[in-house]
Structure 1
Amino acid sequence: MQKTTVFHEDVFYEYFRPFRHPLARFGDLWGGHGLETYGDDLQLAFKYDSDYVWTVVDCGESSNEWIIPGFHRVNRICFLLTEVAHFDAPIEFRIERGPHSLTPIGLARRITTLKRILSEAKAKD
């Protein structure tokens, strides 16, 4: 089993570039990027290329939320679509409560690590 690497949410937004799909029904969900977990939004997410779909989940045991690759049904908050594929890489992004951001150099270092992991996942794909 592959080890999952956890990144800060800043890395997700900087590298994967989530966007609001023009057919999304709810404009205020997850900063305007989220797709609802039911109805037309759910169908939109299921029809989209799965390498570009993410699930925001609540883990329940802490105040953190997570962005994880692919479709997940348990503890889901919403789905996100991104411009960059994840290739089912063993990665997760932690969303901490409160204002926590990476420094520019820390962000650059983590993106370098992310690119290596994605390259390995793409090679296996």
Structure 2
Amino acid sequence: MKFFSTLLCTLALLLSAQFSQAQTTPAAKAKNSAESLKIKTSAVCDMCKARLEKALAYEKGVQSAVLDVPSQVLTVTYRADKTSAEKLRAAVQQTGYDADAAPADERAYTRLPECCKKTNAVHGAE
């Protein structure tokens, strides 16, 4: 009987140690929280808005992406433990748009419709 009592106490001790290690630390919780990033783009129309928001929706860790067309600013809410600001800017470039000071991927830019190109005079861009 004493053996079973000792065994039961040992199991209880092991389980409590296991659960205490499984709890998330405050630093890990902070890392999982959402961050917001504003990226100045070369987007000029509502088609650009749809294209960028859809492309960013497929990026790992992105919770939302909203483009304000008049200001050309893309606001991305993302989880910092899943992606980074550099990866998000690269995703914008690979979609065919400038991301802050970094120019768009040339090949992706050439595939954009004419209305989405920054040299289009109809939208008053460059």
Class of the TM-score when normalised by the shorter of the 2 chains? under 0.3
What's the TM-score, normalizing by structure 2? 0.27
What's the TM-score, normalizing by structure 1? 0.27
Bigger strand fraction:
1
